[in-house]
Amino acid sequence: MQQLLWINGKREESQAYKSLKSPYNEEIIADVAQSSAEDVTNAIDAAAEAAKEMRAMPAHKRADILEKVVALLKQDRIECAKIISREAAKPIKAAITEVDRTIMTYQFAAQEARRIYGETIPMDGAPGGEGRVAYTVREPLGVIGAITPFNFPMNLVAHKVGPAIAAGNAVVLKPASQTPLSSYKIAEYFHEAGLPSGALNVVTGSGSEVGDVLINDERISMITFTGSPEVGKSIRENAGLKKVTLELGSNSAVVIDEHTNIEKIVPRIAAGAFAFQGQVCISVQRIFVHESVFKPFVERFVEEAKKLKIGDPLDEQTDISALISKGDVERAQSWIDEAIESGAELALGGKSTDGVLHPTILLNVGLTERISCEEAFAPVVHINAFNDFNTALEWVNDSKYGLQAGVFTNDLQKGFKAAKDLHVGGVMINDFPTFRVDHMPYGGVKQSGTGREGIKYAIEEMTEMKLVSFHIN
């Protein structure tokens, strides 16, 4: 199968193609078009033109288009999950969950499209402001460049394309090199749903080349990026006065206080650690357990992790499959080895077979080890014991990242203390840090990013406020 570009409502040939291989079995899935700078510019041309039509389109029509995309996704739910599963090696169970969340995300986008309120401003609150009727409106930015990661090839695209279209923008989308097919599929759904040609374009190719064109073109008003901190920072530094939203990485932590019901929480934390091989921005990476429950927690956690079935992502029994690339297996393996050398105890896993890194549990890892302080993005967690709750909170905060954190406690004062002191975008009391519903505000502090997603919040980022004042005699 040859995957062409999607520009201005049509499939377009490119000058070069590259084989897309399954991360799991290296089978070739498709030959994917590699955009030239000219292709990208063509996509921006189309988007700039379509942006005018989008800006003039009433909200209820934008909502209708998004609702039709929802209907198409519902209809093709399993097919879509298979696309994800195949290109990302995401276990099919998880892929189906992702499609269901994608549906929800576009539903919220359809609904928020009808809800772009502004405010009337009481100008007469200050001397000199008398006799005005003044109000704000939120106007679309125009063309938005969206750069998306491999780990949720549909839902993280939805979190950019959904609000962008809802707000009346046009989009040029560059999906991750390993997961282009989900994006091309979505583009077709939008086309079928009646989105004007050019309002959503998909271009694939090397990140640096395609991305550079997006970042430099003056007609693009905003870059919305989810991916690594390094690339994110570079985008921010090269994007001039463009708006930039960055959802970057994390090494999310969970704190488990004394008196916590271990039995009840272990399955959820294990899910947070190993779902999609840990390749989730808010995957559980660091577990801090009160010393009084450390031993039983580790036992139950290892037990739970042992249940995970490794295998073909398309197999419904599979819990764990291949990492997105062999390089990532090697990277994770080396970080694990480093930690063990430095004295960490290996409680499970720590090795890979056929390119699949086994669920790995380390105990008492030094907090300056890379497996603790860098983003692992692999099925690896470490569990450390603490004896003072405040110390555990400090450990969580001792990170360059700050996306989400989880805390299990039934002590009311401790719960609110954690809510106050943890320096992250989201604190989940009595839940894992991996918790996300698609309408909540989501985003990080420190090097975890800037800006917020969650449809309503993303729409704010993807519009600009205009003040209008009428002076009345």
Please give the residues from 84 up to 143 whose contact with its own copies meets the rule CB under 8 A.
104, 108, 111, 113-130, 132-137
Query: Contact at 8 Å (CB) between 346 and 335?
Result: no
Among residue numbers 236 through 265, which ones bind its own copies (CB under 8 A)?
236-238, 240-241, 243, 246
Among residue numbers 327 through 366, which ones bind its own copies (CB under 8 A)?
none
Among 276, 331, 449, 459, binds its own copies (CB under 8 A): 449
Q: What one-character DSSP code corresponds to residue 310?
A: B
Q: Which residues contact 261 (CB under 8 A, 6 or more apart)?
A: none
In sequence order, the β-bridge partners of residue 446 are: 401
Tokens of residue 415, six digits: 């719960």
Minimum Å distance from CB 395 to its own copies? 19
Binding string, residues 385-414; x marks residues near its own copies by CB under 8 A: ------------------------xxxxx-
Minimum Å distance from CB 119 to its own copies? 5
Q: Does 471 bind its own copies (CB under 8 A)?
A: yes
Instruction: Select from 9-17, 205-213, 269-277, 449-457 the region that touches its own copies (CB under 8 A).
Output: 449-457
Question: Is 281 known to be catalytic?
Answer: yes
Instruction: Select from 147-155, 184-192, 304-312, 460-468 the region that touches its own copies (CB under 8 A).
Output: 460-468
Q: In 10 A of CB 473, how many CB atoms? A: 3
Minimum Å distance from CB 398 to its own copies? 15
Q: Does 271 bind its own copies (CB under 8 A)?
A: no
Q: Which is nearer to its own copies, 300 or 446 (CB)?
A: 446
Among residue numbers 17 through 76, which ones bind its own copies (CB under 8 A)?
58-60, 63
CA proximity to 152, closest of 138, 162, 140: 162
Minimum Å distance from CB 369 to its own copies? 22
Q: Does 470 bind its own copies (CB under 8 A)?
A: yes
Binding string, residues 407-446; x marks residues near its own copies by CB under 8 A: --xxxxx-xxx-xx---xxxxxxxx---x-xxxxxxx-xx
Catalytic pick among 112, 247, 304, 461: 247
Catalytic pick among 87, 98, 112, 281: 281
For residues 414 and 434, give the distance between their C-alpha atoms in angstroms, rounded to a whole number. 20
For residues 105 and 110, give the distance between their C-alpha atoms in angstroms, rounded to a whole number. 9
Q: Which residues contact 76 (CB under 8 A, 6 or more apart)?
A: none
Helix (H, G, I), strand (E, B) or coil at 379: coil
Minimum Å distance from CB 115 to its own copies? 7
CA proximity to 402, closest of 250, 237, 226, 187: 250
Query: Contact at 8 Å (CB) between 236 and 244?
Result: yes
Number of chain positions touching its own copies (CB under 8 A): 82
Q: Which is nearer to its own copies, 62 or 300 (CB)?
A: 62
Among 10, 52, 74, 233, binds its own copies (CB under 8 A): 233
CA proximity to 137, closest of 179, 168, 170: 168
Q: Which is nearer to its own copies, 175 or 425 (CB)?
A: 425
Minimum Å distance from CB 401 to its own copies? 11
CA proximity to 97, closest of 269, 280, 286: 280
In sequence order, the β-bridge partners of residue 28 are: 21
Minimum Å distance from CB 64 to its own copies? 9
For residues 252 and 273, give the distance between their C-alpha atoms in angstroms, rounded to a whole number. 10
Among residue numbers 193 through 232, which ones bind its own copies (CB under 8 A)?
232
Query: Contact at 8 Å (CB) between 286 and 372?
Result: yes
Q: What one-character DSSP code corresponds to residue 139?
A: E
Minimum Å distance from CB 59 to its own copies? 4
Question: Is 80 known to be catalytic?
Answer: no
Chain Cα centroid distance, residue 73: 19
Question: Amino acid identity of 117?
Answer: Y
In sequence order, the β-bridge partners of residue 425 are: none
Q: Does 462 bind its own copies (CB under 8 A)?
A: no
Q: Which is nearer to its own copies, 27 or 421 (CB)?
A: 421
For residues 106 and 111, give the distance between their C-alpha atoms in angstroms, rounded to a whole number. 9
What amino acid positions are annotated as catalytic residues? 247, 281
